Amino acid sequence: MADRVLGGRYQVLDKVGTGGMATVYRGMDQVLGRTVAIKTMLPQYATDPSFAARFKQEAQAAAALNSPYIVSVYDWGKDGDTYYIIMEYLRGTDLKSGIRKHGALDCKKVAQIGSQIAQALSVAHNHDIIHRDIKPQNIMVQPDGNIKVMDFGIARAKNSHLTTDNSVLGTAHYVSPEQTQGKPLGPTTDLYSLGIVMYEAATGRVPFDGDNAVTVAMKQVTEQPVPPSQINPNVDPQLEAIILKCMQKDPKDRFQTADELYHTLHDYLAGRMQAVNNATAMLPAAATTPLAARGSNATQSMPRMQATGRMRPQSATEQAAQEEEERRKKQRRNRVLAVIGAIAGIALVVFLVVSVLGSGSKAYSVPNLLGLTQDEAAAMLDSDGHGFEIGEVTEQYSSTVEEGKIIEQTPGAGRTATEGSKIDIVVSKGEEPAASVTVPDLTNCTPSEAQDLLNKYGLKGQAGDSVYNADVEVGHVAEQEPAAGTSAKAGDTITYHLSQGAEQVSVPNVVGDSQSDATSALKSDGFSVNVVQSSSSSVEKGYVISSNPSAGTSADKGSTVTITVSTGPASVSVPNVVGYDESSAETALKNAGFGVSVTTETSSTVAKGKVISQSATSATSGSTITIVVSSGSGSSSNNTTGNEGNTSGGDHSGSSGTSGNH
């Protein structure tokens, strides 16, 4: 069981202890990160529908109780074949171990413990829940000295159908007389058990003991306890009176509510002894002899009169002494009554025997029909020759018994029934179909928020592998299966994946690549691409000059990388040389970084040797600019010199020519 995770949430650590029907482990709630106690039903009971129902009822009953003196129940469920309850993890020691180690406690401490238990019982009784197993082993004393009532393992709501079995449950040293006799139980049965717990805390020992549980249980019915002060002289009369009133055999003679007991103990702790005396007045005598030896007309001890004429409550010690004195007077009468009782008992037995024999009916042991089909059970009853028949047949769902098989029978197997009796059976309908629910959207939830939301829909949750997601905060749910909005069955498990944030990817080197090749490479690595253009005298037009982020840098997958693409060299302004003489124009253009090409033509308006026009006002740096130079008003030879030549015009009248330098 160790290291197993129940319900996809609760990790089982080490075993703490084992009880009558369950094992308790220390565990860890992986969602909330807190230590918890994990109570799991023992395997031999997990397949028994009645025990499974009891286990479920314990969880539901305890979860409804909210008190600082009751152990908190957080969750319960079933994982595979394991039923479990998640409870508050308590540190400390149980009261039984404390009494064994330290012996009797002082009166104030006994009253404080009793007061806190009474407050816990008040909460339970207000929810119509009777604990039925109050004992020091179920009282945890915490390091701060306060207590917690534990283990509602046999607690029952007053209206529960499970109370009809009349089984004697609990520990014999602490059970009430009515619990031993299988009578209906009320809140006062817990107060009786609490009285015994206080008795043991005050004296260091239980009031009734014996060789076996049956002997002890019978003493609960037939004997009165020795007053605590006769065992421990330090027990004062008021606390003794409170304890003995709790332990009255007749429930009507006890405190009637846990609140009433709590207020009396509170008065005791506050020193209001008159209030305690009033609350415990008219307490019946505490006989130390069996009740069975007392006649039905026995005189009850009465409180003594105070000097004022008012009734003074009689102490338990005085009552015991008076009872011993009266006992001798009653012995003779009790012998007579015992003889009469024996004669009456014999007569009753004779009557029953005659009745049974006279009716002609015989009694037989009822066979075990559990696990059989109805037809198989009927065939078994036909063949056993005892005349048993199938009676009322009902059906109910069962998660442990397959459909069509018998899960309950009345009378039970091994019970005695008269020949020809009918046996009522309950047949399994199989596992109850889970309700259909719509899967909620867990996106952006924290793990605890996701679990809470799934719980509202009757679903379970488990964390899967984490995933990259740039749009969801780290540690929050990014994905889930099944998807939100789909249909699932109550109890199904929804797997959710937490975000790791955006995935980091290294930017590839695309400098020098063509725009199309760079774009393709970036997109294949998961990036978006943004393109800007810029002139470059060193990078060919249409090719990448740079990227941002730069190559080798880590960036979020899905983020944008901007690439700068060359538009070729940049255009610059060409100096305006129109009207310059040829040599001045060439010098200005060359100084600006351009080459020069010269052509001539005649002009009647521009003086010979002056620039008539130029080929461009802007151009890329280093390109050639053509200038047209006037040859005067004569005919033009339209000669051209290269960018390294000079145009010379000689001072001629009439014709003119252009000659290049060689």
Residue 191 CB-density burial (10 A; 0-12 exposed, 13-18 middle, 19+ buried): buried
**Cα 103–104–110 angle (5° rounding)?**
135
Dihedral sign from CA coordinates of 513, 515, 520, 523: positive
What is the CATH topology of the domain spanning 5-88?
Answer: Phosphorylase Kinase; domain 1 (3.30.200)
Q: Exposed/middle/buried for 414, CB within 10 Å: 0-12, 13-18, 19+? A: exposed
List the one residue out of 126, 146, 262 whose CA is nearest residue 194.
262
CB 139 within 8 A of CB 149: yes
Residue 85, H or E segment:
strand 82-88
CA 524 to chain centre: 44
Would you say 88 and 71 are in contact if contact means Cβ atoms under 8 Å apart?
yes
pLDDT category of residue 658 using cuts at 50, 70 and 90: very low
Same fold, 436-498 and 504-566: yes
Q: In terms of C-beta density within 10 A (0-12 exposed, 13-18 middle, 19 or more buried), how is residue 225 classed? A: buried
* Window from 154-158, 236-240, 404-408 with minimum mean pLDDT: 154-158
Most confidently modeled of 314-318, 421-425, 636-640? 421-425
Catalytic residues: 133
CATH class of residue range 436-498: alpha beta
> Each residue of 636-655: b (16+ CB within 10 Å) or e?
beebbbebebebebeeeeee
Tell me: pLDDT of 407 over 90. no
The answer to the question of whether 608 is labelled as a binding residue is no
Alpha helices (H) along 543-596 = 582-591
Domain 363-428 sits in CATH at: 3.30.10.20
Q: Where are the domains of the chain?
A: 5-88, 93-280, 290-360, 363-428, 436-498, 504-566, 572-641
- Residues 660 and 662: their CA atoms lie apart, in Å, by 6
- Reported as a single tens digit per residue, the pLDDT across 149-179 is 987 644 444 434 333 333 333 478 999 999 8
Fold of 504-566: Trypsin Inhibitor V; Chain A (3.30.10)
Question: How wide is the angle at C-alpha 237 spanned by C-alphas 296 and 69, nearest 5°?
Answer: 95
* pLDDT tens track for 18-60: 766 778 899 999 988 899 999 988 877 777 777 777 777 777 7
Q: 603, 563 in Cβ contact below 8 A? A: no
Query: CATH second-level architecture of 572-641?
Result: 2-Layer Sandwich (3.30)
pLDDT of residue 307: 31
CA-to-CA distance for 598 and 630, rounded, in angstroms? Answer: 10
Return the CATH number of the domain spanning residue range 93-280: 1.10.510.10
Residue-level pLDDT at 182: 84
Q: Which helix (H) or strand (E) holds 389?
A: strand 389-396
Q: Where are the beta strands (DSSP E) in 208-313?
A: 304-305, 311-312
Q: With contact defined as beta carbons under 8 Å apart, do 643 and 624 qualify?
A: yes
Least confident of 209-223, 349-363, 501-515: 349-363
Res 164: pLDDT: 35
